[in-house]
Chains A and B, each alone.
Chain A
Amino acid sequence: DQQVKQNSPSLSVQEGRISILNCDYTNSMFDYFLWYKKYPAEGPTFLISISSIKDKNEDGRFTVFLNKSAKHLSLHIVPSQPGDSAVYFCAASGNQFYFGTGTSLTVIP
C-alpha cells in the first residue's frame, strides 16, 4: 500500500516559470517530509525538508508547502531553470522513510 503518492509522473514547464510538484500521503503520524532530486545514473540528492509542525519552508528558489488537513505536500520551484530537469521524489518519515514514485520534471529553455 503506497503511503506516499505522486500522481503526476511527468511535468513540463517553460524556463523562468513556476514548477509545482505535488505529493499526497495517507499517514497522519508522519513527522517529517522531504524532497529529493534524482538525475539519471545518480542516487537521489536531498533538496529541502519540512517538519510536520510547520506549513512552509523556503530555501532559495525552492519552497515546500505542507497542508496537514489535506495530507498534501507541494514543492514550488521559482524560477525554473533547465538544470532543474530531473526526477523529483517526495518522502515522508515515520518508522522508516516512505517514498513516492517520482515526478519527472522537464524545464524547456
Chain B
Amino acid sequence: KAGVTQTPRYLIKTRGQQVTLSCSPISGHRSVSWYQQTPGQGLQFLFEYFSETQRNKGNFPGRFSGRQFSNSRSEMNVSTLELGDSALYLCASSLRREGNEQFFGPGTRLTVL
C-alpha cells in the first residue's frame, strides 16, 4: 500500500507570495491532518479534515487554509507569506479520528525569502 505523498518536496517563495501544498493520504484513509514543524517548536497542529469537512483547527492565522476533496486528497494554502512561515509542513493521514495512529508523509520544506 502506497504511503502518504506530499508535493512538492521543496519550495522557495518570497514574502507576500502565496503557496499551495498537496497531500495524498493512504488509500482508504479519510482523515488528513496538517502540521508545521519548526526548530524548537515541535509539530504544531494546523488543521484536520475528515470526509471533506474541517473538523479541527489549530492556533494559526487565517492566512493558513486548507481543503479536502472527495478522494480524501488535501491541499493547504498559505497566503501573504512571511519569513516566519519557513518550516517543514507535514501531512498525516489516518483511518479515522480519535486515538488512531497517524501516518506521515515526508513533508514539504518551505523557505520564504
Binding site for B on A (CB under 8 A): 2, 6, 31-32, 34, 36, 41-46, 49, 51, 89, 91, 93, 95-102
Contact = CB atoms under 8 A, between A and B. Distances in A.
Interface stretch (B35-43, B62-70, B75-83): B35-43
Size class of the contact patch on chain B: 20 to 34
A101 B42 contact: yes
Given A43-B4, A51-B99, A93-B98, A98 B104 contact: no
Contacts of A6: 42
Given A97-B33, A98-B45, A101-B42, A32 B90 contact: no
A99 B99 contact: no
A42 to B, nearest CB: 6
A89 B42 contact: yes
Most A Cβ at <10 Å: residue of B33, B42, B45, B105 = B42
B90 A46 contact: no
Contact of A44 (B44, B48, B58, B90): B90
A99 B101 contact: no
Given A43-B92, A99-B35, A31 B42 contact: no
20 contacts: A6-B42, A32-B98, A32-B99, A42-B106, A42-B107, A43-B4, A43-B104, A43-B107, A44-B104, A45-B104, A89-B42, A91-B43, A93-B98, A93-B99, A95-B56, A97-B45, A98-B45, A99-B45, A100-B42, A102-B42
Nearest to A93: B99
B55 to A, nearest CB: 9
Nearest to B46: A96
The 4 A-B pairs of least Cβ separation, nearest first, read A43-B104, A101-B42, A32-B99, A99-B43
Interface in B75-113: 90, 92, 98-99, 101-107
A100 B44 CA distance: 9
A2 B106 CA distance: 24
Interface string B1-42: 000100000000000000000000000000001010000111
Contacts of A46: 101-103
